[in-house]
Amino acid sequence: MTSYAITQTCCNDATCVAVCPVNCIHPTPQERAFGSTEMLHIDPTTCIGCGACADACPVEAIFPVDSLPLAQREYATINAAYYADRTPEPAPDGPNFHAWDEPTFPRVLPSDFAPLKVAVVGTGPAGMYAVQDLLLHTSAEVTLIDRLPVTGGLVRYGVAPDHPATKKVGDTFARFHTHPRVRMHLGLDVGTDVTAQELAAHHDAVIYAVGASADRTLAVPGEDLPGSISARAFVAWYNGHPDAAPDAIDLSAERVVVVGNGNVALDVARILLADPDSLARTDIADHALASLRAGKVREVVLLGRRGPEDAAYTKSELLALQHVPGLDLVVDDHDPRTVSAIDEAGPATDPKGKAALLRGVTRDRVDWAEAPAPGRRIVLRFHSAPVEMLGEEAVQGVRVAEASGERTIRTDMVLRAIGYRGVPVAGLPFDESTGTVPHDGGRVTGTTGTYVVGWIKRGPSGGIGANRTCAAETVTTLLADAVAGALPAPRSTPKAFHRLARRRKGKGGAALSR
């Protein structure tokens, strides 16, 4: 009997936890560490090899240990190491495999609870987890709306094309698009084609799952020069987002500087240097593939304000980067703090253990005034904060602050990967300081019948799986309001809204109503 291991693409959805018969996957949603963990882990000493977790995983991240691909065999050790210092759970009395938590019933619906008419704006993971919850646990009828002509949100337009397993979570949600209690309108923009008031007037409740569609800014001189581009715009371009022009990106630079060192920064660096023939087997946009084939990029520099122990990327994404064929990973050892953090780091399983993963990586003192070295490489430069984008009519360099003063890195292209930011939603309050809609448990502050979920609710943090817990909280609040009689009575019906949507969309040639 072989145990299973969770690998790089873990989305923290925790569906695997729910189906495991022996409670061998941790942290669970009931445990404190669940909110901050980068991935879940299977205990090899408890796992019985039944494979239920692998069957349930929406992103195909779970494999038998003896079947792990070469590049992922280290995950057997990573899973086991998580349990090295854990006290084994005492064996329970009786026939159960493990001790079960006390049952809880956060939702209690009366037997005569009438079907709700709910509109959900946004078809990304946050919106679809809310739809899934409503359809599976109530008799609600759902109107599903997206301003884009294709469903998926960030799963479709934000996940790197060389991560097809992560995109498979979209297949889990797709089954609800054709559910008999769902009516879907794609290419319909709430705030332009229909107003928020019109949407609310035809439904008992409206849930906004519109994400965070803007960028955080660096607030440094030269940030708006041509050649300085947000990573969000670059990701949208290579994923074929309808709002991204095919000719929006120029890849004539040999060196690209990426400001930030989170997972998005690693994604854009990896795509810039990927083998085009390998990318041709993915769903990357045709125009992006052609540009990458013709492009000159051979070095990508990732700037991080803090040290390697505080890098924002996940350990799994950094590990994957070290297995990309033909790609060199280099640490710029300009600052002795970087060297010390790597050499003195504890095990990679420690909270600050990210630095340990760089222990075997090549170190180099780079001359940034010179052209990039031959080959393809990613340079991690920690303790470097950009203070100015240099150039007259376009970017020609980045001036960075470091411990010894300031230094100029020669480049013709800068990607800003410092985070996303929500934008105001028509008809809803908005907190400019956080880029979110103020709420109480998902209920929009100062309103009745209006709710938020996902990044517009909590800010741009957490991966795909975090939206499941987020959506559960919002739907629980909505149902409690319905039971309490706090939802406003709609003035019209969803059927009338569908007629209205078709008329409005017909004027603009929108994509689909079902």
For the cut 90, the answer to whether the pLDDT of residue 88 exceeds it is no
291-322 pLDDT tens trace? 999 999 999 999 999 999 999 999 999 999 99
Task: State the Cα–Cα distance between residues 345 and 351, nearest whole angstrom.
Answer: 10
195-253 pLDDT tens trace? 999 999 999 999 999 999 999 999 999 999 999 999 999 999 999 999 999 999 999 99
Contact 250, 413 (CB under 8 A): yes
Q: Which two tokens stand for residue 314?
A: 């996940």
Task: State the Cα–Cα distance between residues 275 and 250, nearest whole angstrom.
Answer: 18
Can you name the residues that pair with 450 across neighbouring β-strands?
206
Task: State the Cα–Cα distance between residues 395 and 130, nearest whole angstrom.
Answer: 43
Q: What is the pLDDT of residue 198?
A: 96
Task: State the Cα–Cα distance between residues 401 and 220, nearest whole angstrom.
Answer: 12
Q: How crowded is the C-beta side of 193, counted as CA atoms within 13 Å? A: 25
- Start-end of H helices in 57-168: 74-82, 125-137, 154-157, 164-167
Contact 62, 4 (CB under 8 A): yes
Confidence of residue 417 (pLDDT cuts 50, 70, 90): very high
Task: State the Cα–Cα distance between residues 266 and 284, nearest whole angstrom.
Answer: 17
Non-local (6+) Cβ contacts of 272 within 8 A are 251, 256, 292, 295, 297, 300
Can you name the residues that pair with 431 across neighbouring β-strands?
436
pLDDT (mean) for 459-487? 95
Give the β-pairing of 420-421 and 214-215. Answer: antiparallel
Give the β-pairing of 41-42 and 141-146. Answer: unpaired
pLDDT (mean) for 41-51? 94
Contact 121, 206 (CB under 8 A): yes
Task: State the Cα–Cα distance between residues 397 and 29, nearest whole angstrom.
Answer: 46
Can you name the residues that pair with 121 across neighbouring β-strands?
145, 208
For residue 130, give the 3-state DSSP assignment.
helix
Q: Which two tokens stand for residue 88?
A: 């084994």
Q: Which two tokens stand for residue 384?
A: 């470097």
By C-alpha distance, which of 376, 377, 267 is closest to 313? 267
Q: What is the pLDDT of residue 509?
A: 46
